[in-house]
Every structure is written in structure tokens, then in C-alpha cells.
A and B are shown apart, each in its own frame.
Chain A
């Protein structure tokens, strides 16, 4: 029987990612890893990670935090690497050399997913490997010191697009990778946030039980890169959901479901003001920039609602 996704039962499960890892104090990535592995607690899993914060901090010298088989190859190739592991599993099963059921999970940052690893990810998903690819999205190259990535939000200050007199932080809009993965026609694509852990765990469990390639994008605050407090990882991820900066939804067989709809959509400013990377937007004369960001968020949210309406079967939509 599947382990119920409540904390009383889950806390009896072994956390297959030990303490003693070297992630920064208050980093959300180990929380995400813990939630993902707990949601997968009924399965043997093999994990692959791309180069990045999680990778360098979880496996150093002779010390590994992983209590599941884990492989790091390079920065841009976690999906290709895991596709090799998964294919060998299929080959050995076919030859009767292995009988266990094993699930395959990639856990990689946004640099290794949106940018340098995008081709490898797209290829692996197109080939249809039975794997779940999880992006822990903290919106910049945090491991190398907060450089902008295509996941960095518009106007965010990073070390390669610092807010200056001429350029006000990142000029471009974020790449909407979750939509791009949905456009691959995968059986399951979702966005999740650790603040809404039952939703996150349900999505991971659902994804892991579906055969084929799956993608989940998980919002993962980084207090060093976002210049926020050490204790606000969950608070900020909650605000991201409540302001619709990070909508929680899933796309399953072409049907889009918004899994958490904020009762009162909070103004984006509440999410922005808690982070030093947006501090420059609160200088006098910059009001229009915040308005612009709010408009972008509103537009995206509206189009997601519309998409849900268009794709959701009537009987489900009427609920």
C-alpha cells in the first residue's frame, strides 16, 4: 500500500538525503529534495544531478548526502546521463539480469535545465525515457555567484545584470520553461512550490507513477542570491504562489489544471519587497517598472485560467 502523504506517516520514513550536506543555511533546495524523495518513498530510485549548488554541496570528497544511487556527470547533461542509466535498466531487465522496479529522477538547477542543459533535457524527453526531471528553480546561477539565467525574473538584480544607472536589472522576461516542456506533449508536466507541500508531493507521486517522461518545475528560494532572510524560504515560496508569480498547475495529457488557486490574489509587490534583488524597483521614479511586472503576471495568470477553461473537461470544470 502506498504511504499516505501526511507528515505523521512520512516522518516514519527514512529521509534518503542526510544532514551533513553543505547547502547554505536556509536554502530551499534540500527541502525540495527531501519532499521529492519522501513522495517517492515507496520506490527504489536512482537520482542524477547536474553540476550546481545541490551537486557540489551534497557530494564532496568522500562524503555523500545521498542514500539513493546518485550520479553527477557534468553541467548540461543530467537528462542524457539519466537516459543512459534508464536505458541500461531496460536492457538488463530484458536480459533478466535485474528484476527490481526502479524509478529515475533528475534533480537539477535552472542553469542546468533552462540554459546549458536545455538540449539534453529536450532530447531525453522527446525520446520518451521513463524518468521524472525536476528543476529546482532559484532563478540564477547561484553556485557561481548569482549570475543571470533565462529563469531570472525581469528586473532582478544579479551579478551579470546588476541594477545600474542605464540597465535596471535583467531586461528580458523569464523563459517559461514549464510551458515549453508541456509543448513537448509529455504525459505529465507541473509546477510546484515547497510552501504547498501536499500539492508538491501529490504531483511528484503522480508523476512517478506515470510511465514515460515527466517534468516538474519547483520554485526554490535562495536567500543568498535573492538577498532575503535566512528563514524565509517557505514564506517567499508561499508569496510566489499567492501573488501568482508562480502558479501551481499541471498539464496532463493536454489538460491544464490549476491545482491551487489563491483565494485573494496578492499584489506582486509583496513578493518583490521581501527581496534585495528587487530593491532598486522601490526607488522613486521606478513605479512604472513594478506596474509593468504586475501587468506581466496578470497577463500570464489570465492566459493560464483561459487555458484551463479551454482544456478542462466540462464535468471537472463545473465542480
Chain B
């Protein structure tokens, strides 16, 4: 923690996006989302609906979850349309 001599004038934060240092993944209590690639139609709704930017997407294709930030809310799993009735995201018990 910084001492008073290091406080910037007006406590203005100069480092944009510095909150990414806070790993909110530790908030997950019981469940974490699991991606089942074979059921994924790459609709990217999980990416859009994730409140914590925890769905990694590269070149328009989704990749793994970013468990550093995922709070385990489950919106992605609920909203996942899946393939032929099979979800591409399911919530599974958190491994501690």
C-alpha cells in the first residue's frame, strides 16, 4: 500500500484499466463454467453476455474461459444455445 507522499494530486488514477490486477476469479463459490467445444456454434453470445470479460475470443473465435476473473454467475451457461439441444457451456462444481 502506498504512503501519503506517493498520493497523486486529486487521487486521479493514471493507469487505465488497472482493475485487471484484481483477480475476481477468487469470488467463485460453488460452480465454474465448462466449455464443451464440440457443442459450440461460435455464436459468441457468451462473450457478449459475460459481465466479467471471462470468455477469451481470438480472431472472432471463442477459446477457453478466463478463470482469473470469472465470478461463476452462470449467465453464459443459461444463455448458451448449444448445438441440437446440447449446451456448449455447463456449470460444474468448483474444484478447490
Contacts and interface: CB of A to CB of B under 8 A. Distances in A.
- The answer to A–B direct touch (Cβ < 8 A) is yes
Interface of A: 7-12, 15, 17-31, 34-35, 58-60, 62-68, 194, 197, 229-235
B47 interface: yes
Nearest to A231: B74
B60 to A, nearest CB: 4
B64 to A, nearest CB: 14
Given A59-B19, A64-B18, A234-B78, 17 more contacts: A7-B48, A8-B44, A19-B24, A21-B22, A21-B24, A26-B51, A26-B73, A29-B51, A31-B50, A63-B22, A194-B49, A229-B74, A230-B75, A231-B73, A233-B73, A233-B75, A234-B79
B52 A66 contact: no
B16 A7 contact: no
B95 interface: no
For the residues of B in contact with A, the DSSP-based class is loop
Contacts of A9: 60
B20 A18 contact: yes
Contacts of A26: 51, 71, 73-75
Q: Bin the interface of chain B by size.
A: 35 or more
Contacts of A65: 17, 19-20
Nearest to A26: B73
Nearest to B57: A11
Given A35-B48, A63-B18, A20 B43 contact: no
Contact of A11 (B2, B27, B47, B78): B47
Contact of B16 (A11, A28, A67): A67
Nearest to B46: A7
> Sorted from nearest, which 9 A-B pairs have the closest CB atoms?
A26-B73, A231-B74, A25-B71, A19-B69, A20-B19, A7-B44, A20-B22, A65-B19, A25-B73
A109 B96 CA distance: 36
A285 B19 CA distance: 50
A22 B73 CA distance: 13
8 contacts: A7-B43, A18-B17, A18-B20, A19-B66, A26-B74, A31-B48, A34-B48, A62-B2
A66 B51 contact: no
A9 B44 CA distance: 11
Interface in B47-77: 47-54, 57, 59-60, 66, 68-69, 71-75, 77
B21 interface: yes
A27 B51 contact: yes
A31 B49 contact: yes
